Structure 1
Amino acid sequence: MSSPSFSAVTTTTPNSNTTHVLAFPFPAQGHMLPFLDFIHQLALKGLNITIIVTPKNLPIINQLHSTHPNSIHTLVLPFPLHPKLPLGIENVKDIGNFGIPPIIASLSKLEGEVIQWFQSHPSPPRAIIYDFFFGYTQLWAKTLNIPTITFCTSGAFSTCFFQRLMTNMNEFRNLDAVQMQDIPRCPSFHKDQYPSLFEKYKEDDSDWQIIKECILTNPKSWCYVVNSFYDLEGEYIDQLKIDLGHDRVFSVGPLTSSLGVNKRVNPDSDVGYGVLKWLDKCPDESVLYVCFGSQKLLTQPQIEALALGLERSKTRFVWVVKVEGSQWVPQGFEERVSDQGLVIKGWAPQVEILNHEAIGGFVSHCGWNSILESVLAGVMVLAWPMEADQFQNAKLVVEYAGLAFRLCEGEHTVPDSNELARIIDKSMSISENVPQKENVKVMRQKALEARNVGGSSLTDLNELVKELSQNVASNSNT
């Protein structure tokens, strides 16, 4: 095999007197942003981090590297070819969620290059931090005799549930519904609410087999890092510790782009930020923000039902509509609601919008990053979960934490417009007492406290850094 070519953003080499770790994020926006925010926190604590990245994903690292030019380094490797991936595809955003299995499988082929780089490095990493999709990284670490750290981009509740589904796949796949008796509150879900990677698993597909092995291998990691905080998910963080058989579960969240690093950048930012000027003219907590994440496209019937529901609710709104494909709001809709709402086609500054005083609610698909962003903004959610971990996240915030209303659910569900209008009107009412609004404001304060001195998340972060700096070097994977 020919020698691989390595490139880097910087020619600096990590100081041999500081702790050096290797980081392997999964190339999807919902995964990379919190992962890189976590790396940012480690760099602030004095650690040196080398990030494995492929060429087309390098721009996502640039802002973080600019913030920490002496402690953030990159190991840039060519994206391995895969027969199911078009040439040049290196990120989920460029192909959609159906590209997740081949991307995971393809990146497993980097093992040889990473090991060669490690063995030739003058000050090699003491540990590998990897996205929980990359459980095969533990095999690399075993060869290198260093421990692994699993970074969970989902919440603790969802992680507990998903791990059980994948571990007991043969038992659960044939059931129409499942109830987890050994998880706090004994959550139950029917099969349409299962995480997508479980529901769509293909036994005879080698890419899906790799995913299954990754998830089953994760509990062997030296520790878990969870993008959550104790006041929101304490009982499930504790359950993870029980499941793993040790206390090395560090909840360090909320980690989101609102922390000021890796904020979304868009060339049409003047268009996107124009919404903030529009919001300045609206009363406090009077506007409903509507956005379904970076990957999800609504069907035309769903768009039409939602448009009619918003219009009939008489509630002010900002609706972010993707411009891909044939997703268009109904003809004449924007003209009819010109005094009521604003439709943004394409990108919008979500964190800034959520934190505007005019925003009083958030119609969301309940992706974990969006949930945490809503909590940090103190904004109530109107939940419409569709896939992945979103049904588990919705159950957490609607039924357990009381931070949200259930607006609709299902990837293909076309809601009743009158019912949408009723729920929107009720939840956004300024004349009625809405407990969810008050609950999320309380949770926001707890989230901020968790990251402050003495808070649960900062304490866990400091403990993890201490372990990495002092103790991890003498440990290895078993």
Structure 2
Amino acid sequence: MAENGKATKKLQSASVPHVLVIPFPSQGHLLPLLDLVYHLSMRRVSLTIAVTPANLPLLSPLLAKSPPNSVETIVLPFPSHPSVPPGVENAKDLPSLPHFHSFMHTLVGLMDPLLSWARSHPKPVSAIISDSFLGWTQNLAAELDIPRIVFSSNGLLFTAVSHYLWLRMPRRPDPTDDNYPVSFEEVANSPVYPWRHLSWLYRTYVEGDPDCEFIKENFLLNLKSEFVVSNSFEALEGEEFRQSVQTLGFKQAWSVGPLAPTTGASDRGGTASMSAGEVMTWLDGCPDGSVLYICFGTQVDLSTEQGAALAAALELSGVRFIWVNKGASAVPNGFEKRTADRGRVIGGWAPQLAILNHAAVGWFLTHCGWNSVLEAITAGVAMLTWPMAADQFCNARLLIESAKVAVPAVEGMKTIPDAKELGGILRNTIGEGGKEIRQRAKELSTKAVEAVREGGSSWRELEDVVEEIYKISSKVH
């Protein structure tokens, strides 16, 4: 994204605002917010990021690349909670999904230390930018009598859908009916989702449970902020999606994405069974657009049964593939040997950005996590969707029905796909049947790149965010 825009130049004579940034400690939330921080630092904004010790290393690329003295940190001990195992400071390290409620709740323990820090800091804080999962920071902003800007690591559609749920609290008459249709009349295109596609956080709400009531209040507090910044862009989610968010209570919604990993946020590295050089060399020998990339993010492990079904589908389809396998038992014995002439399995970490941007990769079988979605869009790679939880069903529908750059493949966290059916989808889509979708993906990629260039829609909206921060600062001080 182009830096040092017109808004910044107009404000050169103004005093530099000081913004407190509070990320939610989960890779999918924290990393795009760090990329936003980088862009703000390049536009003459001073920022302090609140972080706990175990998450501090994730800031290293940002701190190395940002202008000197523009980004500082405040390192606070991670609050304790009886249901959060000691030493766990990032959601990816939680032993199971049910621990997530307590993990969200325990973070409110950072409020008093942050309040003390802000009140004693020699440079007053002008505003707070914090993740949408940290609604309690709205109370922190109120205590300091400063505005808060909500950062949504998701798109505008899911931002609207998730807040609509907690505001309207739709319930299903039959607690066993997972197909019960829930209407979202105040959201763009009035979507209807079956109950099973709703956010797990919402579906597991239990009235009176302290953690659940805290999470509900968390999202309602977000709506008390005037501002929300989304990691999206105009060509993907236009004015009708912005209006959906504003209808629910936000007065201003900005789309500043795709927030590409300017600070090395995505391909940070890790332990892998195959080096990046080996991956690229193998791809170099494949025809353009012929390879299917398969990855389900940092928090999903396929079961043995799911892995066997996917492996059988790949064998039946005959397509070229790279399969990133985190789970030790997901890939059947002998599969790699049988498919060595047209596929590679990578255990552990993979250089996802480099893979997606290689000319040989034409398709991505994905869980539809928003960061993966944006990386695929930017690379011009079409998608096969396997949404499992959280925002993923919402994202998948946006890609299939609105953007038309994806094909449905499987859905559900525990679904074991029919190997013959999935194999047919892979064979037909990655062949002649998917040409039009691939072309649309390339066209959307061009629009994504244009959005973040100087003068593009996201560039302009980021300039507006900076200008608003300066206005806030002048009023506060």
Do these two structures clear the TM 0.5 threshold for a shared fold by scoring above it?
Answer: yes
2:361 equivalent among 359, 362, 381: 359
Q: Does the 8 Å contact 2:154/2:370 carry over to 1?
A: yes
Superimposed CA distance per residue, residues 247-282 of structure 1 (whole angstroms, 9 cap, x where no aligned partner): x1110001132x343243234468341211111111
Is 1:241–2:246 an aligned residue pair? yes
Is 1:398–2:403 an aligned residue pair? no
Q: Does the 8 Å contact 2:324/2:347 carry over to 1?
A: yes
Is 1:32–2:30 an aligned residue pair? yes
Q: Could you say what secondary structure the match of 1:230 adopts? A: coil
1:230 equivalent among 231, 234, 243: 234
Once residues 162 and 62 of structure 1 are traced to their aligned partners in structure 2, the CA distance between those partners, rounded to angstroms, is 32
Once residues 121 and 25 of structure 1 are traced to their aligned partners in structure 2, the CA distance between those partners, rounded to angstroms, is 20
Q: Could you say what secondary structure the match of 2:237 adopts? A: helix
Partner of 2:334: 332
Partner of 1:161: 161
Partner of 1:100: 100
Residue type of the partner of 1:465? V
For the aligned residue pairs, the C-alpha RMSD in angstroms reads 1.9
Partner of 1:275: 279
1:23 equivalent among 12, 16, 21: 21
Q: Does the 8 Å contact 2:293/2:365 carry over to 1?
A: yes
Partner of 1:123: 123
Superimposed CA distance per residue, residues 87-141 of structure 1 (whole angstroms, 9 cap, x where no aligned partner): 1110111115433222221110111111111111111210000000101101111
Partner of 1:11: none
Moved more, 259-268 or 212-221: 259-268
Q: Does the 8 Å contact 2:156/2:232 carry over to 1?
A: yes
Once residues 171 and 434 of structure 2 are traced to their aligned partners in structure 1, the CA distance between those partners, rounded to angstroms, is 45
Once residues 257 and 279 of structure 2 are traced to their aligned partners in structure 1, the CA distance between those partners, rounded to angstroms, is 28
Compute the displacement of 1:171 (Å).
3.8
Once residues 304 and 262 of structure 1 are traced to their aligned partners in structure 2, the CA distance between those partners, rounded to angstroms, is 32
Compute the displacement of 1:181 (Å).
2.4
Q: Could you say what secondary structure the match of 2:300 adopts? A: coil
Q: Could you say what secondary structure the match of 1:319 adopts? A: strand
Compute the displacement of 1:443 (Å).
0.6
Q: State the percentage of identical aligned residues.
A: 41
Compute the displacement of 1:205 (Å).
2.5
The runs of 4+ residues in structure 1 deviating greater than 6 Å are none
Partner of 1:55: 53
Equivalences for 1:372-451 in 2 at 5 Å? 372-429=374-431, 431-432=432-433, 434-451=435-452
Once residues 455 and 306 of structure 2 are traced to their aligned partners in structure 1, the CA distance between those partners, rounded to angstroms, is 46
Residue type of the partner of 2:326? K
Q: Could you say what secondary structure the match of 2:274 adopts? A: helix
Compute the displacement of 1:22 (Å).
0.2
Q: Does the 8 Å contact 2:130/2:150 carry over to 1?
A: yes
Once residues 92 and 250 of structure 2 are traced to their aligned partners in structure 1, the CA distance between those partners, rounded to angstroms, is 36
Partner of 1:266: 269
Q: Does the 8 Å contact 2:224/2:250 carry over to 1?
A: no
Compute the displacement of 1:244 (Å).
2.3
Q: Could you say what secondary structure the match of 2:78 adopts? A: coil
Residue type of the partner of 1:279? L
Superimposed CA distance per residue, residues 193-246 of structure 1 (whole angstroms, 9 cap, x where no aligned partner): 111111122323212211110101111112000000011011212321233263
Q: Does the 8 Å contact 2:272/2:347 carry over to 1?
A: no
Once residues 216 and 276 of structure 1 are traced to their aligned partners in structure 2, the CA distance between those partners, rounded to angstroms, is 46
Q: Could you say what secondary structure the match of 1:317 adopts? A: strand
Partner of 1:474: 475
Distance 1:172 1:225, change over 3 A: farther
Residue type of the partner of 1:330? P
Compute the displacement of 1:78 (Å).
0.4
Q: Does the 8 Å contact 1:49/1:73 carry over to 2?
A: yes
Q: Does the 8 Å contact 1:230/1:237 carry over to 2?
A: no
Once residues 128 and 190 of structure 1 are traced to their aligned partners in structure 2, the CA distance between those partners, rounded to angstroms, is 36
Q: Could you say what secondary structure the match of 1:391 adopts? A: helix
Residue type of the partner of 1:409? E
Q: Does the 8 Å contact 2:163/2:248 carry over to 1?
A: no
Q: Could you say what secondary structure the match of 2:322 adopts? A: strand
Once residues 56 and 38 of structure 2 are traced to their aligned partners in structure 1, the CA distance between those partners, rounded to angstroms, is 16
Q: Does the 8 Å contact 2:270/2:349 carry over to 1?
A: no
Compute the displacement of 1:183 (Å).
2.0
Q: Does the 8 Å contact 1:196/1:389 carry over to 2?
A: no
Residue type of the partner of 2:29? H
Distance 1:128 1:471, change over 3 A: closer
Superimposed CA distance per residue, residues 305-354 of structure 1 (whole angstroms, 9 cap, x where no aligned partner): 0000011110000000004xx53311111110010110001100111100
Q: Does the 8 Å contact 2:62/2:263 carry over to 1?
A: no
Partner of 1:457: 458
Q: TM-score, normalised by structure 2?
A: 0.92
Which runs of 5 or more structure 2 residues have no equivalent in the other structure? 1-13
Q: Does the 8 Å contact 2:38/2:263 carry over to 1?
A: no
Residue type of the partner of 2:369? G
Q: Could you say what secondary structure the match of 1:271 adopts? A: coil
Once residues 98 and 370 of structure 2 are traced to their aligned partners in structure 1, the CA distance between those partners, rounded to angstroms, is 19
Once residues 329 and 290 of structure 2 are traced to their aligned partners in structure 1, the CA distance between those partners, rounded to angstroms, is 27
Partner of 2:139: 139
Once residues 319 and 173 of structure 1 are traced to their aligned partners in structure 2, the CA distance between those partners, rounded to angstroms, is 41
Q: Does the 8 Å contact 2:126/2:472 carry over to 1?
A: no
Equivalences for 1:165-204 in 2 at 5 Å? 165-169=165-169, 171=171, 176-204=180-208
Compute the displacement of 1:411 (Å).
1.0
Q: What is the total number of aligned residue pairs between the two structures?
A: 457
Once residues 216 and 47 of structure 1 are traced to their aligned partners in structure 2, the CA distance between those partners, rounded to angstroms, is 28
Distance 1:94 1:172, change over 3 A: same
Distance 1:159 1:378, change over 3 A: same
Once residues 61 and 389 of structure 2 are traced to their aligned partners in structure 1, the CA distance between those partners, rounded to angstroms, is 30
